[in-house]
Structure 1
Amino acid sequence: MHKLHFIIFILDLQTINITLRILYRPRAELLPKIFCKFGFKICCTKSQFDAIELITQRTLISQSISELLIERAAQFGLLLDDISITHLSFRSEFTSAVELKQVAQQDVEKQRFLVEKTEQSRQANVIAAEGDARAADLIGKALDEAGDGLIELRRIEAAEGIANQLSKSRNIVYLLHGPQMLLNITGAMQ
């Protein structure tokens, strides 16, 4: 097993730190030649991917790197068993910019949600006001057709409800109206 660390430049001019883990073994029949030509160097001269692709297409990139390294290692008589990207990091400026962009996108989504919520609330208020206006219009028409009898009926029903509640309350005392009210007071004092 061998770990390789690279700093490469990608299409959008970002620098990236990549760490690869390579599991390899020499082909037994080529061991003598390997010792004669010991060592190999991998150099990435041109990147095919930008930063977003490196994040979103990591498997494809790992496969592409594997193919290149397997081909190159074959020239030195090495069989590569496994190649994995174990570490991928960007410059701190780029990482900060991505984080700021995500925060800005979240703020935009939040504002969009608040605008939609306000619009829906406004529509609900308009619908409620239209309903109230329609109800008032229907009540007005009913009063025009039936006259003041409906209003008088509602007054009587309300007074009846109030009287019913008051009659059930223990804290209410009824006083008679007129001169009979003081009739039995002197008898009660003796």
Structure 2
Amino acid sequence: MAARLLNRLAGIGFGIAAAGAIVNSALYNVPGGHRAVIFDRFSGVLPVVSGEGTHFLIPGLQRPIIYDCRARPRNIPVQTGSRDLQTVDITLRILFRPIVESLPTIYQNLGEDYDERTLPSFTTEILKAVVAQFNASDLITQRELVSQSVRELLVERCGGFGIILDDISITHLTFGREFTNAVEQKQVAQQDAEKARFLVEKAEQYKQAAVITAEGDSKAAELLSTAFLEAGDGLIELRKLEAAEDIANQLSRSRNVTYLPSGQNLLLTLPSN
């Protein structure tokens, strides 16, 4: 009896384990930010997209394919040439994600590595086409226009394959050594030209200042000459008084002078001629 009971319990336990294994194989989980498509051995890829959570499938006949539907970055470096035949190394940063409703078609046409099959080739082709329309200097000064042109073409191209591009930006842009040296030499020449222009303007200012000073001295001499002619000896006497007053003030502040002559005013007896 005990042996029979043990065998029955073992059979029940085996049946429960088998049933649990079957139930477990019939369930699959879709993580947050992901979606799943089902491949059926008889029907192929089902047109239904499974959302986040736990779902059922037929074990042995159906298999889930999980896709990450969150925005993911990708850097794509490209070496190409500008319109003036300069070598350009450019890197494009793309933020992409799949269109959820297009996941069955994406799996049928591109597979799970859809981004690897499309983005590098599309980006390389479009970057070469856009960069070839600009000169090397325009790529620097019109960088936003270049990025916008690439964005428009790439969004349209990827949209046909069920891919959404949330952001496109040029993160790296360099040129060949010859062009870089030419730019540096041009900058040095511009700085030298600015310095020379400054020196010329400075010399011109000095010249104008000298002319103005000379005109002022000439005008002052002319006024003095006119004053002498009109005032006669009176102006000379006035200048003598002013000079005597100035000398007296200076002597009064000197430590080596203890008194001033009182018999006559200083300079008043100087001859007028």
* TM-score class normalised by the smaller sequence: 0.7 to 0.9
**Structure 1 equivalent of residue 233 of structure 2:** 148
Deviation at 1:78, TM superposition (A): 2.0
TM-score (normalised: structure 2): 0.58
Ranked by relative contact order (alpha carbons within 8 Å, sequence separation 6 or more), the top structure is 1
TM-score (normalised: structure 1): 0.81
Determine whether 1:88 maps to 2:173: yes
Alpha-carbon contact 1:15-1:91 (below 8 Å) kept: yes
**Structure 2 equivalent of residue 10 of structure 1:** 82
Determine whether 1:114 maps to 2:186: no
3-state SS in 2 of match to 1:67 = helix
Deviation at 1:170, TM superposition (A): 4.1
Q: Distance in 2 between matches of 1:166 and 1:5?
A: 87
Alpha-carbon contact 1:23-1:83 (below 8 Å) kept: yes
What value does the CA root-mean-square deviation take over the aligned residues? Answer: 2.4
Which ranges in structure 2 are unaligned for 5 or more consecutive residues? 1-72, 262-273
**Structure 2 equivalent of residue 69 of structure 1:** 154
Deviation at 1:33, TM superposition (A): 1.7
Determine whether 1:157 maps to 2:242: yes
**Structure 1, residues 71-124: CA drift from partner, whole Å, max 9, x if none?**
222343322222111111111221221122112112111211211111111011
Query: Which of 208, 213, 220 pairs up with 1:135?
Result: 220
Which ranges in structure 1 are unaligned for 5 or more consecutive residues? 177-190
**Structure 1 runs (4+) greater than 6 angstroms displaced:** none
**Structure 2 equivalent of residue 182 of structure 1:** none
Give the length in aligned residue pairs: 176
Question: Which structure has more strand as a fraction of its residues?
Answer: 2
Alpha-carbon contact 1:37-1:76 (below 8 Å) kept: no
**Structure 1 equivalent of residue 211 of structure 2:** 126
Alpha-carbon contact 1:26-1:78 (below 8 Å) kept: yes
Q: Which has the larger radius of gyration?
A: 2
